[in-house]
Structure 1
Amino acid sequence: MGEKILIVEDIFIEANNLQMIMERAGYTVSGIAASVEVALQMVEQDTPDFVLIDIYLKGKQTGIDLARILRQRNIAFIYLSANSTKQTLDQAKATFPYGFLVKPFREREVLVTLEIARYLHANSLEALLRKGTAEPHPHTIQDLRVHGIVGDSPQLQRILQHLLIVAPADTSVLITGESGTGKEKMAELIHRLSDRASRPLIKVNCAAMSTELIESLLFGHEKGSFTGAVERRIGKFEQANGGTIFLDEIGEMPLEVQVKLLRVLQEREIERIGAARPLKVDVRIISATSRDLEKEVAEGRFRMDFYYRLNVFPLHLPPLRERREDVPALIRHFLELHCRNLGKPPVTVTQKVIEMLTHYSWPGNIRELENLIERATLMCEGNTISYIALPEKIDYMPLPKDDRIKTIQENEREHIIRVLRRCNGKIFGKGGAAELLSMNVSTLNYRIRKLGINKDELHLPG
């Protein structure tokens, strides 16, 4: 081992304790500093491999100020702090640390965090990007279109460049983004472009797992290990051995399960319930969440050490409203896809509809767009879609996270009711709702029955 560690801590007892932990583990402590000024002098004299930094130090400068300088010099650092408020985490996150130790901490926590930091530093985004420029990936961004990746926006191109770099690197990936942005598709693509492509990709929806059964589901159990265990069960991690496991909605995972998974990530072994000995597994971890995990950590719902284990290589997928230039290409892609799936001849869409959809805010992101195009394709009775029902007010701003997003059916129901009121309840003939909606009368009547629209809701005069 022998890496040099600089400790930046202004409380002597804490610094001395850290030094003893480091030296017992085989690290070399190059110095102890109580302020940023002294720490920078020590860095100039003997560049350390890692720096442990307390956030609040003597003097005007904080550990976060020091971290910014270390980041510029490509020196790995870990924060030490008794304060894990949301504000502190936000400031710390902006410096891209390699770990975060919350006081008081145990010896094993310190050593595990250092192990993670070593791995993160060796496999950081910058390091992988450097490797990527030196060793070009056999696939190109154009090749990804075969896998249903559609769009030419700068945001998407940057994501795909990073994806091509990380796919063969076998490192853990955390995919973040709002619901419906395509996190699962990105996970599938990383697996397909990796050396594990011929091995299984096992998907686990963490939000759908029962806390009582999760250990058996993930790690398996032996016959007779508990009441109801009538046969041996192979868990998800064992099924994924040699391949990839995709942990979707990882932010929903209960704390007690996070502890068990952290051990799997650290030791690379699982233990079936009732088994006599652990079993080594070779599994790549890809996880995804629509939650703000830093906020979850700050509020005590997500373990910080587990977060840093997962967040080795982050990929953030922007919402569709931030890459509107991709909407026309996505519309054409989904039209072709669903015409083929439905066995229909090719269908086009008018430029007016494209412009309307491009300016819509898409709170449900790509998933909402695909569902809308699928329904429009199904209902289209000619070869051109000239109208698609959207909410009356087009919202250009993202909806607050606490607001419930209406379903497409709810939006369609409200829109048909508005049109019927405008037509005074008239469905067919000149100026009727069917004409305004560009729908066949029988189709509109079917939708009215299907959506449960009744005359009383229209509040017609007389």
Structure 2
Amino acid sequence: MEDTLLIVEDQFIEANNLKIILLKADYHVLPIARSVDDALAIIDRQVPDLVLLDIFLKGERTGIDLAHILKARGIAFVYLSANSDKSVFTAAKMTGPYGFLIKPFRERDVLAMLDIAWYHHSQKVMVKDNEAKPKKTSNNPVRDRELKKIVGESGAIQALLKNVETVADTNVPVLLLGESGTGKELIAKFIHELSERRSGKLIVVDCAAMPPHLVESELFGHEKGSFTGATEKRIGKFEQADGGTVFLDEIGELPLDLQVKFLRVLQEMEIEPIGGKRKKVNIRILAATNRNLEEEMANGRFRMDLYYRLNIFPINLPALRDRKSDIMPLAVYFLEMNAAKFGKNITGFSDEVRQTLTHYDWPGNVRELENLIIRAILLCHGNQIGEVQVPGPSVTGETSKGLRVKTMTESERDHILAALRQCNWKIYGPGGAAELLAINGSTLKSRMKKLGI
């Protein structure tokens, strides 16, 4: 290999052990630096392809200080750390490393992380090159149609759309992050329609909705007779999407054993159906989650190598409460889209309703707003919506005897929302709302959709 690496580590034994691993793998290793000043002096003489960087070094400056300099110079870096302090990890993560190597170093882990770092770097270069290309000015009717579904003029939405247009016309995996109901599937469809794969299929897979024992068969397919009950051959989702895009919603729900197989799809573009032979596929991967994947990694529920393969171009979808200027445009959009569908001639909202909508926090985000507007349309008997039912005590329903009694549906909805807030909007797994409510995770998600959460 021609790749040149720089180790910045103040502990001699650890630095030397790491150097031995790298030399054995045919990397060119520059002299070891033990401080920020040492590292900068070496870099001035020869720029490395990648820096392996400890967080705590000799001298007053830390590895995080050096990381900011490396980032400004366009030099890739991976952190070396034995420190598990959350605040330190958060500060390090903000510098944009290509990964973390945890001490003590194992040869397998070192080489795997370097492989991820090179992949990460090549994909980011692809995105950067695409961003520099002059944008096509020709009309794209599909793009214009999909764009109309993304309503809002807030800064958060405009930044989101800019990121989408930057990455759409590449094959780089995209990780969509955000709370439930923020529109991750809509953005995935938009990315697909803007890409060169728009003529191919977009296959949407809800990882949370599939029974664990069927996930592998659904994704990878199986041959006839490969297991009890396999009476016919099944083509998996990855193969169905050949030439197109796969959108894996709730990727955090993918079982650990299947994360290994999925990693091979990302690395090699290769699948292995149950009972079948390996075969190549030509697909682009989009994934989404409302989980904190870093916490899932720390708890051993999500593979670190898979996380860094997916997290090349993360796109954060803002919560509706963080873009309140978009609430009324969205409400008008949902009104116009649904009023005619239900045979209603409704022209707008009363001032009181507008105030209610803009002051509510929308824990269920855009999906909750859409469902609420549909209910309001069905209950409206005039040409203006004059009342909406948002969770919480009803002001208009007060009587001389106290507050209006909630319906069973309203009570169930409020109860689920309270559980979700208590669990920090985690639905599945230990400490999740499903566990707190003592129900199956898929059942809870189904109830949430029905109740507009």
1:254 maps to 255
1:1-12 matches, cutoff 5 A:
1-12=1-12
Counterpart Cα distance in 1 of 2:75 and 2:123: 14
- Residues 104 and 212 of structure 1, relative CA distance in 2, 3 Å threshold: farther
Q: Which residue in the other structure is 2:431 paired with? A: none
1:332 maps to 2:309: no
Q: Which runs of 5+ in 2 are unaligned?
A: 412-453
What is the root-mean-square deviation of aligned Cα atoms in Å?
A: 2.8
Structure-1 residue corresponding to 2:110: 110
In the alignment, the residues of structure 2 paired with residue 82 and residue 209 of structure 1 have an alpha-carbon distance, to the nearest angstrom, of 37
Q: Contact 2:147 / 2:190 at 8 angstroms: preserved in 1? A: no
Q: Specify whether residues 105 and 213 from structure 1 end up closer, same or farther in structure 2 by C-alpha distance, changes over 3 A only.
A: farther
1:172 CA drift (Å) = 0.5
- Structure 1 449/73 Cα, relative in aligned 2: closer, same or farther at 3 Å? closer
Q: Which digits, 9 at most, give the CA deviation of each residue in 1:89-124, with x for residues without a partner?
A: 312211110112223444343333223322322333
User: Judging changes above 3 Å, is the alpha-carbon distance between structure 1 residues 82 and 151 closer, same or farther for their aligned structure 2 residues?
Assistant: same
CA distance in 1, matches of 2:76, 2:270: 28
Report the Cα offset of residue 147 of structure 1. 4.2
Task: Give me the whole-angstrom Cα distance separating, in 1, the residues matched to 2:325 and 2:57.
Answer: 47
Deviations 1:246-275 (A, max 9, x none): 111112223222222122212221111112
Shift in CA distance, 109/270, structure 1 to aligned 2, threshold 3 Å: farther
Partner of 1:270: 271
Aligned to 1:132: 131
Give the residue type in structure 2 aligned to 1:58.
K
User: What TM-score does the superposition give when structure 1 sets the normalisation length?
Assistant: 0.81
| Structure number with larger C-alpha Rg | 1
Structure 1 counterpart of 2:93: 93
Deviation at 1:311, TM superposition (A): 0.7
Q: Using a 3 Å threshold, how does the CA distance of structure 1 residues 238 and 151 change in structure 2: closer, same or farther? A: same
Q: CA deviation at 1:391?
A: 3.4
Gaps of 5+ in 1: 394-414, 426-432, 434-446, 453-462
Normalising by the residue count of structure 2, what TM-score does the alignment of the two structures yield?
0.83
Residue correspondences, number:
409
Distance 2:230 2:11 in 1: 53
Match of 2:213 in 1: 212
Matched letter for residue 136 of structure 1: K
Shift in Å at residue 127 of structure 1? 6.6
- Residues 325 and 238 (structure 1 numbering): CA distance in 2 closer, same or farther, change over 3 Å? same
Please point out which of 405, 422, 434 is paired with 2:399: 422
| One-letter amino acid of the counterpart of residue 232, structure 2 | E
- Any residues of structure 2 matched to 1:107-186 within 5 Å, and which? 107-124=107-124, 128-129=127-128, 131-138=130-137, 143=144, 146-186=147-187
- In the TM superposition, 1:193-342 aligns within 5 A as 193-275=194-276, 277-342=277-342
Q: Aligned equivalents of 2:46 and 2:257: distance in 1?
A: 42
Q: Secondary structure at the match of 2:213?
A: coil
Structure 1 partner of 2:380: 380
Q: Secondary structure at the match of 2:302?
A: coil
The answer to whether the Cα contact below 8 Å between 2:130 and 2:167 also exists between their aligned partners in 1 is no
The question of whether the paired residues in 1 share the 8 Å contact of 2:346 and 2:382 is answered with no
Q: Is the 8 A contact 2:143 2:193 kept in 1?
A: no
Maintained 8 Å contact 1:79/1:99: yes
287-296 vs 383-392, which deviates more? 383-392
Please report how far the alpha carbon of residue 334 of structure 1 lies from its aligned counterpart in structure 2 after TM superposition. Answer: 0.1
Equivalents in 2 of 1:354, 1:156: separation in Å? 21
1:189 to 2:166 alignment: no
1:15 deviates by: 2.9
Supply the AA of the counterpart residue of 1:236.
K
Match of 2:354 in 1: 354
Query: CA 1:79 to 1:144, structure 2 compared with 1: closer, same or farther past 3 Å?
Result: farther
Q: 1:345 — aligned with what? A: 345
Residue 230 to residue 151, structure 1, CA distance change in 2 (3 Å): same
Deviation per CA, 1:279-322: give whole Å up to 9, x if none: 11111111111112222222332222111111110100111111
- Asked if the contact 1:150–1:329 (Cα under 8 Å) also holds between the matched residues in 2, the reply is yes
Aligned to 2:416: none
Q: Distance in 1 between matches of 2:383 and 2:400?
A: 26
CA distance in 1: counterparts of 2:41 and 2:216, whole angstroms: 50
Residue type of the alignment partner of 1:22 = L
Q: Measure the CA separation in 2 of the matches of 1:217 and 1:144.
A: 31
Structure 2 residue matching 1:285: 3-state secondary structure: strand
CA distance in 1, matches of 2:28, 2:362: 54
Tell me which moved more, 83-92 or 202-211: 83-92
Read off the aligned partner of 1:368 and give its amino acid letter. Answer: E
Kept in 2: contact 1:204–1:246 (CA 8 A): yes
Encode CA deviations 1:177-228: one digit per residue, 9 max, x unaligned.
Answer: 1111111100111011111111111111122233322222211111121222
Q: Deviations over 1:23-44 (max 9, x none)?
A: 4444322232222221111111
Determine the C-alpha separation between the residues in 1 that align with 2:410 and 2:46: 72
Contact 1:201 1:246 in 2 (8 A): yes
Given that 1:153 and 1:323 are in contact with CA atoms closer than 8 Å, whether structure 2 keeps it comes out as yes
Question: Quick one: which amino acid aligns to residue 179 of structure 2?
Answer: E
Match of 2:414 in 1: none
